[in-house]
Structure formats: structure tokens, C-alpha cells
Amino acid sequence: MIKLADVLKDLIDKNPLLQAGLKHRLLNLTQLSKFIRPQVEARAKKEASEAAILMALSRLQQKFVEPKPGQNEFAHPESARRGAEGADIRVDNISINAQLCALSFHNTIEVNRGLNSLYNRVHRKSGFITLTHGMQEIRVIVERVSLPLVKECVPEKPLNSHAHLASLGVSFKKNYLETPGFFYLMFQQLYFQNINVVEIASTANELLIYVHENDVRLAFDTLYNRFLLGQRGNS
């Protein structure tokens, strides 16, 4: 027979939002018990009272240690207690590029040729440019001063465009690619501030987050205070 505690643990382990809510004591456990009761009964294949779910949730919440600033939200509770290596999220640097715009084009041979020329010309001027190739579209993000070059190199009318963007470049060690929930933790901080993420791109050591330029200062301060300020103060 499946134990109720095991069902809840499995449900929580697979849901980062529930993990963060329990760790930070953000959730009303009584309301949560009512909300997840159907999911619990479906997994357990038996009826479960809200009181029993509430009691099991209370016990599980006690096992979570509220993370310190910069600590990995997704570290196992036992690892967090022991202060295991890798429990802290350490961001190396956060940079801003402002006055950007994004344009999308059909992914055709002609557009690719034009964008290759655009990339070389912008790169020679040490300008900002990123290209993202999808199956049907290509997204190019450049500084607004480079828009005349875009029109010159790619005569095709863009499918859509998004002006007044800014980017946050978050640099980190590449071992974080193996850390479950690392990107989620970044985005979570911005969503709590009601900041809309318009575009994202990443490499092995850097995450580029594009937001409206009116939000970039708040976004920078939020990530800086969460992932840089605290750890520098403790170093």
C-alpha cells in the first residue's frame, strides 16, 4: 500500500513551486491540502482526508531549511543542513546592455545571408548582436542604432519587432548546468517583481535575460541583491 507521506514527497519533489513555498513558509497548508487532494488521491489510488494531508504536509515542511541569500533552493534538505559543497548559488557577474530591439524573420537562405553580413558589420564596430535560429524563424537582437544596418542587410520586412529592450548578462560557472532549477531560481526572482521576461538565450557560462528597458534597473538590483551582494558580504 502506498503511504500518503511518500505520495506527497514525490509530488513536492517534482514541483519547484511547492518546494520554494514550503521552504519559505509562503503557503497556507490548509488551503494547499484542499487544492492537492485530488492529485494525492489519484496517485495513492485511495481516498485521503484533508486533515491527513495537512498533517503530512506539516511534517514535510519541518524537514525543509529556509535557504540563506544565494543558497540553492533545490538542494536536498539533508545537504542544506550539512552545508554541503555546491549548496550556494554563486553568480560571477551581472551586466546590462540597454537600448536594444528584437526582430524576427523567416528562416530562409536569403535572410541567413543578410544576417551573416549584418553580424560581421556589427561585430567589426564592437556592437551588440545576438542571433537565435528556430525551425521557421530567426530572431536578431541589436542596438537600436544598428537598425539602419538591419534594413540594409535584410530587405525583407520583419515578422514582428520588439523595441525598448535591455539585456541582463548573468555569468556563472558552467557546473551550474548540472544544477536542477538553477534557471528557474533566476526567473523566480524576476516574476516576484512582476517583471516580464521577453527573451532568453544562454551559453555554458552565461544567461542573457531580455526585459523591457523600464524594468532593467529593478531586474538588475533584484538579481544583484539576491546572488551577488550577500555572498560578497560573507566573503
pLDDT digits (tens, 9 = 90+) for 151-207: 999 989 999 999 999 999 999 887 777 777 788 888 988 987 889 999 999 888 899
Q: How many whole angstroms separate alpha carbon 89 and alpha carbon 87? A: 7
Element (H, E) at 202: strand 197-202
Beta bridge partners, 131, equal 140
Amino acid in position 208:
L
- pTM score, whole prediction: 0.68
Instruction: State percent of the chain over pLDDT 70.
Output: 86
pLDDT in tens, 113-147: 999 999 999 999 999 999 999 999 999 999 999 99
CA distance 23 to 73: 8
CATH 3.40.50.1370 fits 91-234, yes or no: no
Contacts of 131 (CB under 8 A, 6+ apart): 115, 119, 138, 139, 140
What distance lies between CA 133 and its chain's CA centroid? Answer: 20
